[in-house]
Amino acid sequence: MRTFEISTSFWEPITLSLQVSIAATAIAFVVGLLVAWRMSAASFYGKTLVETVFLLPLVLPPSVVGFILLVVLGKNSWIGQAAERLFHISFVFQPLGAVVAAAVVSFPLIYQTLKSGFLEVDKHLKDAARSQGAGEWQVLIYIVLPLAARSLQAAFILGFARALGEFGATMMIAGNIPGRTQTIPTAIYFAVDAGNQQLAWALTGCTILFSFGLLLISSRLRNDR
**Predicted confidence (pLDDT) at residue 2 exceeds the cutoff of 60:** no
Exposed, middle or buried by CB within 10 Å (0-12, 13-18, 19+), for 90?
middle
* Dihedral, 32, 38, 42, 45 alpha carbons, nearest 10: -60
**Predicted confidence (pLDDT) at residue 1 exceeds the cutoff of 50:** no
Give, in order, the Cα–Cα distances in Å from 98 to each of 11, 22, 34, 139.
Answer: 18, 12, 23, 35
**Predicted confidence (pLDDT) at residue 24 exceeds the cutoff of 90:** yes
Q: CA 133 to CA 113: how far, in whole Å?
A: 29
Nearest residue to 159 via CA among 47, 40, 65, 58: 58
DSSP state, residue 148: T
Segment 14-38 mean pLDDT: 94
Q: CA 144 to CA 138: how far, in whole Å?
A: 9
**Predicted confidence (pLDDT) at residue 8 exceeds the cutoff of 80:** no
The pLDDT of residue 124 is 85
Q: What angle do CA 198, 199, 203 make, to 5 degrees?
A: 120
Confidence band for 49, pLDDT divided at 50, 70 and 90: very high
**Predicted confidence (pLDDT) at residue 160 exceeds the cutoff of 90:** yes
Q: CA 67 to CA 57: how far, in whole Å?
A: 12
Q: What is the residue-averaged pLDDT of the chain? A: 87
